[in-house]
Amino acid sequence: MKQLEDKIRDEGQALSEHVLKVDAFLNHQVDPVLMQAIDREFADRFRDAGIDRIVTLESSGIAPAMMTALEMDIPFVFARKRKSLTLQDDLVEADIYSFTKQETNRISLSRRFVQPGEHVLVIDDFLANGEAALGLTQLVESAGAVVAGVGIVIEKSFQPGRDKLLERGYQVESLARIAKLEAGEISFMEVVR
């Protein structure tokens, strides 16, 4: 997706060989025009998959998931990283490790919002080692629903996340696939659609 790649080049920062900072438009400040383009792209790529609902992870996945849900005219729900007083009963849970934050989080989703047999699209902001996406697919399947696909805004293709998801048979659609990060330089993979 050229518009996203241009935004990453212009406003993203390669802090190291493994860390890409995109807080100017995706995971702190959000560019709504870019989100609208992202939602259309995800909707186009998954339009024929019979999606009933979108699941994402708080907080950076919320903007692209919500906009895609709006475009597809379906509900979305986000998994919580921290339990609250109102999120206690009938949960599905999974543990995910964040390499960026160097911590493990137990994520939770109420079974009430993901029904058995539904076809669910998982959307997340980043794919690197695959921990978050795999945790989300685990929640969906634990609730008795079917993972119809995984939509990723930015994929670090030099890390094993995509392979882990493909090994499990999921359709993976990444809008920007990064081939390499070097301090100050970002290289994209050539992807033929």
Q: pLDDT value at position 158? A: 96
State the amino acid at position 25 in one-letter form: F
Average pLDDT over residues 155-162: 97
Average pLDDT over residues 131-135: 97
pLDDT category of residue 85 using cuts at 50, 70 and 90: low
Average pLDDT over residues 128-137: 97
Q: 163 in the Ramachandran plot: left (φ > 0), alpha (ψ -120 to 50) or beta?
A: alpha
Average pLDDT over residues 130-150: 98
Give the integer Cα–Cα distance in Å for 193 and 191.
6
Three-state SS letters, the chain? CHHHHHHHHHHCEECCCCCEECCCCCCCCCCHHHHHHHHHHHHHHHHHHCCCEEEEECCCCHHHHHHHHHHHCCCEEEEECCCCCCCCCCEEEEEEEECCCCEEEEEEEEHHHCCCCCEEEEEEEEECCCHHHHHHHHHHHHCCCEEEEEEEEEEECCCCHHHHHHHCCCCEEEEEEEEEEECCEEEECCCCC
Contact 15, 183 (CB under 8 A): yes
- Which pLDDT tens digit goes with each residue over 174-187? 999 999 998 779 99
Q: 103 exposed, middle or buried (CB, 10 Å; 0-12, 13-18, 19+)? A: exposed
Contact 14, 185 (CB under 8 A): yes
- Which pLDDT tens digit goes with each residue over 94-107? 999 988 778 899 99
Residue 83 CB coordination number (10 Å): 13
* Strand 185-188, strand 172-182: pairing: antiparallel
Structural tokens at position 146: 């079917």
Q: pLDDT value at position 155? A: 98
Contact 120, 53 (CB under 8 A): yes
